[in-house]
Chain A
Amino acid sequence: EAGVAQSPRYKIIEKRQSVAFWCNPISGHATLYWYQQILGQGPKLLIQFQNNGVVDDSQLPKDRFSAERLKGVDSTLKIQPAKLEDSAVYLCASSLDILSYNEQFFGPGTRLTVL
């Protein structure tokens, strides 16, 4: 079974530039998550999708971050414009469905450096 795929693995940009990350979840997984993991901290949920609908985006900085999952499969996360404090690893995860007891499967992450 293929895991969660993410690209790119690394990205370096200057502040005020734009960047986009892509995620392809495990086939058949209805729920998709984007997390931000700042160095030395645990992952923080940015947005959660159930199929193509948003379930929770309460911690997404909506003035600069956006995400979509138009066909209910793969997803993109965009930052526009980027700030220095956005430097982090962005993790995508998926789970079978929205039930609270299902474990999440994580991709390798995209390491973003904002200069």
Chain B
Amino acid sequence: AQSVAQPEDQVNVAEGNPLTVKCTYSVSGNPYLFWYVQYPNRGLQFLLKYITGDNLVKGSYGFEAEFNKSQTSFHLKKPSALVSDSALYFCAVRVPGSSASKIIFGSGTRLSIRP
């Protein structure tokens, strides 16, 4: 069965430092991978996606993610964190072409950026 894991419930980073939010997946076939962000009292917002092509994907707000097929990972990164990046981040995976090609979300990682 396909699944996605976010091994860290919380990540704490000082403002200006680089940040990484980890995501690993388990699917059969070639995955489509997504990152979404959820700010308090708001719905999820799309950040970026990997479909095919270049393993390094750039998205909104200066975020990027690297698809690593051998490690089945899709970690979210940003070179310099901002306090405003503090939010809940979800990794999601979708397997195209299957009978149940729905998107599956990880459990989320709370990112806290301290000034």
Contact = CB atoms under 8 A, between A and B. Distances in A.
Contacts, number: 53
Contact of B42 (A56, A58, A100, A108): A108
A42 interface: yes
A40 interface: yes
B93 to A, nearest CB: 10
Interface of A: 4, 40-45, 48, 56, 58, 91, 93, 100-101, 103-109
Contact of B103 (A40, A41, A58, A104): A104
Contact of A42 (B42, B45, B108): B108
A100 B90 contact: no
Given A42-B108, A48-B102, A100-B97, 15 more contacts: A40-B107, A41-B108, A58-B100, A93-B43, A93-B44, A100-B32, A101-B32, A101-B94, A104-B103, A105-B46, A106-B43, A106-B44, A106-B45, A107-B43, A108-B41
